[in-house]
Amino acid sequence: MSDAAVLAVTDLTVTIGTRRGPARAVAGVDWSVRAGETLALVGESGSGKSMSVLAATGLAPRAARVTGQVRLLGTDFTASSPDRRRRMRGRHVGFVFQDPMTSLNPVLTVGRQVAEAGEEHLGLTRRAARARAVELLDLVGIPSAAQRVDAYPHQFSGGMRQRVVIAMALACEPDLLIADEPTTALDVTTQAQIVELVADLQRRLGTAVVWITHDLGVVAGIADTVAVMYAGRILEQGPVDAVFGQPAHPYTTALLAARPDPAAGGGDLVTIAGAPPSPLALPAGCAFWPRCPVRGDARCEHELPPLRPVSTRHHVRTFYPQHADGRAGHE
Amino acid sequence: MSEHERPDRQPGDSPPAGEVVAELDELCVWFPTPAGVVRAVDGVSLRVRRGETLGLVGESGSGKSTTGLALLRLVDPTSGTVRVAGQEVTGWSRRRLRALRRRVAMVFQDPQASLDPRLTVGSSIAEPLIVHRLTGGTAARRRRVEELLDMVGLRRDLADRHPHELSGGQRQRVGIARALAGEPDLIVLDEPIASLDLSVQAQIMNLLRGLQRDLRLTYVFIAHDLAAVEHMSDRMAVMYLGRIVESGTPAQVWRQPAHPYTAALLSAIPVADPQVERQRRRIILSGDIPSPVDPPTGCRFRTRCPQARPECAATDPVLAEVAAGHRAACLFAGDAVRAMRAS
């Protein structure tokens, strides 16, 4: 199991019908994640990072048309019936979203909600499921879990609610955990607690994790591999050390330089001019071309650069890969 | 009112400095709620001088935003004083406060929520000009709106658009233009970059700094993002549960944090370097921020402090100087941080 991908998507494309025409949210994305490994999907809002994961797990909105292939634990997930997909998702995939209150039912006790998955997908009795809920709440660091199991979500702080959601996600001992901006709404000291918790659980349970975030600092701490997305496509992809250590795409380089660095002094920050394109009107060539500080030539404007290797497992979609020292170079 | 009379209250001094534009003295803002009295701000003193940026950093519930609102008198102080441009405004009536709102402007986190969706960008920017009777006729007002659009880097034709037609970064520029309209003495920036994408955050921070250089603006920059506050500020204060727990220059706070809470906060910030992250030993705080209805006795941070000692429950530490212009409210300032980092 350790070598095979838990989840692999190939040529995944998501087009959403809107009143103003089709919006291409995701365009030909390939990635995979193995047991015990964390894949980080990074990008700004509208980059398609969340939509690609929702589509891969069969949770894309009704108005979306999804093409491409998804394999979950070796099974062709896209070809499975909706009912089989629902059961596979419930049994093998756990989800943690940004706002814990979107995952929690305010009128049910947290224990009931954590126990539910065990009853539904593992066939536990109500009593066994409750005992399991206490165990899980304890596992995610809820103090006096045996008492708090009967409390309601509003009686918990934001960080504690997110722990409850993680307990729900882990209830069926999933092979895959999808974490969509799980710490974005939390304070930084709480974020550190949650990141530590997920990393620890992953070490103990061997779960594969897909972590969606815009925070490059979080990525550096948790990811084994990273895919940088922009306007629905992957612009750069590879092991986290390669992508952060030798970023080859001008967009990755600019993103890494855009954060204030207290060690670097107080000069003006590196910015990327403008804003990402609308998914309703994507440029013909490289989608980043209008904002690109390198702006190679007319080819960038009219021709889509392919995703090509710069080293083993490190791929980049640009005609002008950057050198390690940050200078632009020819392919 | 000299520094000598209250050596332990002011968050840093950087002489020679400009005149004091705004000043809070032992400010308390308490809100009655069914669950009890929420002590949102509980004894905060600070000074902002012309041309500088004072950064306020803290997590949710620290009181940083309420402190900002108090500078505009958008909340009523329970006790303590608020002084703006040399005048004590603590007890001012609603009518007199209208004049204050021209002297102190505010930029909010979510420009989507702070702009009227039915007004065009031009009308939104013109609104403060009309309210404060700052320009004569329609033509003069139009020229001033165009000038303000230029200043914040927006095309003049955007004046006829509505907020929903703009990107998040453009909307925040409109918020900044509105704040600049009345030529205020002080601009309170409350999480101005928190809801923006990374690449746009850098644009807005550069814009704010450029405007400050050109117009000699005075800012209070409120954020939960320590690196952004460090970058933007001349002096900064770290808040926890309604109090300032540490203050100084960004370099002092960042390089030699003296309060255990600041050290924990710094340690929690992830760095975009996988090699650094792998070797890092974090100070992970346990639990959550206590309720502001019933703050701990003695030091408010002691319930989560890895270095808390019995004395901490008995004494409420004052903000005391640990180095020139660098203050911390901890009985064991410095030593506690060294012990935390060594363990």
A272-286 pLDDT, tens digit per residue, is 888 888 888 888 899
Contact A217 B272 (CB under 8 A): yes
| Confidence (pLDDT) at A145 | 92
Query: Could you give the CA distance from residue A32 to residue A234 in angstroms, rounded to a whole number?
Result: 13
**Residues of chain B contacting A193 with CB distance shorter than 8 Å:** 284-285
**Residues of chain A contacting B110 with CB distance shorter than 8 Å:** none
Share of chain A above pLDDT 70, in %: 96
In a structure prediction context, what are the per-residue pLDDT tens digits for chain B, which is 343 residues long? Answer: 333 433 343 444 444 468 999 999 999 999 999 989 999 999 999 999 999 999 999 988 899 999 999 999 999 999 999 999 889 999 899 888 988 888 999 999 887 788 999 999 999 999 999 988 888 788 999 999 999 999 999 999 999 999 999 988 999 999 999 999 999 999 999 999 988 888 889 999 999 999 999 999 999 999 999 999 999 999 999 999 999 999 999 999 999 999 999 999 999 999 999 999 998 888 888 877 888 999 999 999 999 999 999 999 999 999 999 999 999 999 999 888 888 888 7
Query: Could you give the CA distance from residue B167 to residue B171 in angstroms, rounded to a whole number?
Result: 6
Contact B206 A268 (CB under 8 A): yes
**CATH for the stretch A5-107+152-316:** 3.40.50.300
Q: Which two tokens stand for residue B39?
A: 């002590």
Judged against a pLDDT cut of 90, whether residue A298 lies above it is answered with no
pTM over 0.90: no
Which of B169, B202, B254 lies nearest to residue A275, judging by beta carbons? Answer: B169
Which of A44, A262, A275 lies nearest to residue B254, judging by beta carbons? Answer: A262
Phi and psi at B227, nearest 5°, equal -65, -35
Distance from the Cα of A19 to chain B's closest Cα (Å) equals 16
Interface of B with A (CB under 8 A): 59-60, 167, 169-170, 197-203, 205-206, 209-210, 224, 226-228, 230-231, 250, 254, 264-265, 267-277, 280, 282, 284-285, 287-289
Burial class (CB in 10 A: 0-12, 13-18, 19+), A90: middle
Distance from the Cα of A160 to chain B's closest Cα (Å) equals 9
Q: Which two tokens stand for residue B148?
A: 């303000």
Cα–Cα separations (whole angstroms), residue B146 to A123, A274, B69, B139: 67, 20, 29, 11
Mutate to test the interface with B, among A148, A188, A196 (most CBs of B within 10 A): A188
pLDDT band at A3 (very low <50, low <70, confident <90, very high): low
Contact A216 B265 (CB under 8 A): no
Domain borders along chain A are 5-107+152-316
Distance from the Cα of B312 to chain A's closest Cα (Å) equals 22
Q: Which two tokens stand for residue B236?
A: 């900064």
- When mean pLDDT is compared over A3-7, A158-162, A307-311, the highest value belongs to A307-311
| Confidence (pLDDT) at B16 | 46
| Confidence (pLDDT) at B176 | 97
Contact B199 A271 (CB under 8 A): yes
ipTM score for this prediction: 0.84
Q: Which amino acid is at B225?
A: D
* Strand, helix or coil for residue A264: helix
**Residues of chain B contacting A259 with CB distance shorter than 8 Å:** 198, 202, 227, 272
**Residues of chain B contacting A160 with CB distance shorter than 8 Å:** 288
